[in-house]
Structure 1
Amino acid sequence: MEASVTARPKPTSSQATKSSIVPMLIIGGLFFMFGFVTWLNGSLIPFLQIACELDHIEAYFVTLVFYIAYTVTALPMAAVLKRTGYKNGLVLGLIVMAVGALIFIPAAQTKIYGIFLTALFILGTGLTILQTAANPYIVLIGPRETAAVRISMMGILNKSAGIIAPLVFTAYVLTDMSQFNEARLASLEVGQRMIELQELSSRLITPYLIMAVMLIVLAIAIKASPLPEPTTDYEQEGTEHDNKKSILQFPQLILGVITLFFYIGAEVVAGDTIGLYGKQLGVTNFGELTAYTMAFMVSAYIIGMIVIPRWIRQETALVISALLGLLFSLLIITTSSSSTDIWDSLFAWTGVNAIPNTVLFVALLGFANALVWPAIWPMALKNLGKHTASGSALLIMGISGGAIFPLIYGVLSEGSGNAQTSYWIMLPCYGFILFYALKGHKIKHWPTRK
C-alpha cells in the first residue's frame, strides 16, 4: 500500500521488537510454505521429463511458466494490494495457489503437459502476490540496518522447506524409479509404456491435494490472525527524494531489479537444474539434489545472521557472495564429472550420498546465493518512501530471471550435448551482482546530458 503523508513518530527499539514478533512468526510460516512449493520444481523437472517424455528444453518450461508469472502479474498484483491491503493480499495469494495445486489433479490424470504448465503458472501467480506483500513487510517491520538479518531468517525457513520438499517428493513420488529408465521404457510396447507412465503421473495427485488443503487452511488462519498493516510513513520524512514522482527516477532500484533478474536466474539454475544434471551423470538419488543446494543456502543464511551487521555490512556480504559465485561457477565447468573425492574428503562424515565434484559445486552455489536476496532488497528500497509498494512490485518482476536462465541453460545443454560447460551462463550473472555490490547501489541519480 502507498503511505499516507501524515507524519508518524518512529517506534522505539523495544516497541518495534515486541510489535514485530507475531507478524514475523506469521510471515515466517508463509515463507516456509512458498519455499516448499517453489523448490519442488527441482524434483518435478526430471519427474515430468520421464512422465511426459520431454527433452531438456521442454522440461525447463516448468521454470519458464512458473517464474514468468512474476513478470506478467507483479504490477497488477501491486495494484490489488493497494486495494486489499497486505493482509488480505496474503489470503488472496494463498487461495490462488490452492487453485493451482488442485489443477495438478486433472493434469496428472490426463498426463497433458500443457495442463501441468497451467497449474504451475497459477501457482506462480499466487506466489507473486505473497512475495509482493511479504518481502517489503519484513523490510518495513523493523530497523532498516537489520533488514538483511530479518530477511535471512525468512530465508532460512524458505530454504529449509527447500531441503524438505525434495526429500518428501523423493520418498512419496520418486520411489522405485529404476523401472522408468530410458532403455526399459523404449523396449516396451506403446500401450504398456503409456500405462506405466500414467501410473507414474498419478503419483502426483495425493501430494498436491494435500498441498491445496494446507494452503486453504493457512489462508483461513491468516484471515483470522492479528497481522497488522505495515506503515512506510516515517520513511519519507525529510528525504532528499521527496520530489521524485516515479520509481524510474531511483537508479539503485532499477539496477537492483536487473541484479535480481541475474541473481534469481543463477539461483534457479543452481536449484532446479542440479537434479536433471545429476540424473545425466548417473547419480541415483537425483531427486534429492535440490536439497543439497538448499542445505548450503541455509548454512550461509545462519552465518549471515551472526555476522551481519555485527562484523560485516550487507554490502560487503554481497561482494563476497558474488565472488564466491564466480569461483564456484568456474569450478563447475572445470572439475571432474565422475570423481567424488572432494565430497569424500570434506563431507563423508555426514553420511549423505556422495556426488561428483562438478555437481557438488552446483550445490555450493547455494552457499554463494544465500545472502544476495536479503542484501539487495533493503539496498534497492532505500528512501523510496511512498513508492515502496511499487518498487517492491518492480523488484518482484526481476524474479523472471528464474524463467529465462534455466531455459537458456536447457537450450545450450541440448544443443551442445555438454551440460557441464553450459554452466558458463552463470558467470555474467555473478559479474553483474558484483557490479551492483561495488557501485550500482550507490548511484542516486541517472547521468544527465550536458
Structure 2
Amino acid sequence: MKNFRMRVWWFLCVLPLLSACGGTEVTLGEDEDVAGMKGVVERIPAPYGAGCGIEIPVEASYLPDPGVCGNGICEDGEDMYSCMDCAVCGDGCCAGGERSWNCALDCGSVCGDHFCNGGETAATCRADCAPKLGSVLLQRVRSCRNRFPLPCNSTQTRSEFHWWDDFNVAQDKQKRTYLAQPFNPGRDGVRHLVFIIAGQQDGDMASGLTGQRDGFKDAFRDNDGSMWVGVDGQSLAYRLMAEVYRSPDDTFMGLAFDARFNYGFTPSNKQEIENAYYEWLKEKFYASNLRSIYLAGHSRGGCLAARLGRRFKQDFPQVPLILHIFDGVCHVNDHEFGTNGSGYLNPLMNMNGDWRAYSTNVGAQFPTTQNLAVYNMLSGDQVLGDFADYFVSVHAFSHASPSAVTPSFTEGDWYRQEWFTWTHNGMAHNTVSDALWHYQLSCNRFGC
C-alpha cells in the first residue's frame, strides 16, 4: 500500500512540476497503469552541467522508482541523475529536482520562471524582477480612537498627515480620506514622484488607476487607521511598476483611493485640500534630486491632478512633469482650472449632446509648458443621471482649441488630447494601456 501511495504521489505531484522543463518524453507502458494514468506522457529533464561528471546522451531520460524516490533521502539504488533526493545544489550539475527557480547555481537563471535570481535584474528580466503590487497598506488620514457607540475622539493616523490639520481640512473629510504609499525609499532616495488618484468615491468603487477594488472600505471599523488591501494586477499603479518599471529604490508612489476632493465642496474647501496634498507630497523629495513627477487622476481625481500639476510646475519648472487626465471633471460654475460653459461634443458619438466636454485653455493654467507632457483622455460622458444632469450638468474638460472637434490632436510637444467612446467610469479602466504608452514616450523624451 505504501508503495502504491508513493507512486501516485510521484505522478501527481512531482512529474507535473518537471513537465515544462525540457528533457525527453517518458510514456507509461502497458504494465504501468498507476492510478489510471496509463499512457500519460511526461518529460523528465536530462542532467546537464560540467559537474555531472559523465556524458549524458541527448535522448536520455530517467524514470525513478516511485517506491522510494521522493522521500527526501538519497538511498541505495538512487543517484543524482535519476532521483531528486540526491541532487546537491552547487555541485555544478543540474539534476534531479533542481531547476532554474530553486538552484540557479547549477541550472542557470531563466527569465520568465517567476523567480528573480542568478544575477537577473529588472533591467535584464522585467518579467521576473520588476516590482509587483500584490497589496498595499491603506491608511486613513484620521481615524477614531473608539468604536461606536463611544465618542469617536479622533486622531491622525500618522504624524505626516498634519498638513490636513494645518490647512483646516474638516475632520470628517480627513476620516474619509484613504491613502497608500506602497513605495517610499525615504526623502534622500527619491528621484521620481508618482501620485495616482481615483475618482470621487460615493461609497467605495473600483478604479483601474489605483487598483482599488469594490468594497475596499468594508473591513474598516471606526477605530481602524490602516489595513492591508489588494491591488488589481491590470491597474495603472501595478503595471507602471511591473511593465514600465519605476524602481522602488528611487520612486515614491502615492495612491489616493479616496482623495475626498468632491465636486460639491466649496472652492475654499477644495483649496484647503489641494494645499494639504501639495505640502504632503513636497515632503517626499529634495528638489535637487528630483528627476520626474508623474500625476494621474480620473474624474475629480483628474482635476486634482491638474491642479497639483499647476503648483508643481510653478515651483519646480525645471523638473519634467507628466500629467495624465482620465475624463477629468472640474466644477464649471466655479471656473475650476479655468473651465467655462462653452465646449465641444465628442466627435466619435454622432454629435450626441450627452457626450461633451467643457472648455479651458490648459496651457494658460501653467506658468510654462517647458518640461511638460499632458495627455488628456476624455469621453465627455454624462456623469450624473438624467434628472440630476438637468440641474447640474457634470462633464469632463477639453483644451480650448479648434482641433478639439477631431478625434485626437497635439499641441506643440507638451499636449496630447484624445477622445474615446468609453463611459465615464469605463475611462478609469480601459485607457490604462494608452496612458502607459504615453508615459514611456514622455520618459524617453525627458530621460526619466
Band the TM-score falls in, shorter-chain normalisation: under 0.3
Higher share of residues assigned strand: 2
Q: TM-score, normalised by structure 2?
A: 0.28
Q: TM-score, normalised by structure 1?
A: 0.28
Higher share of residues assigned helix: 1
Structure scoring higher RCO (CA < 8 A, sep ≥ 6) equals 1
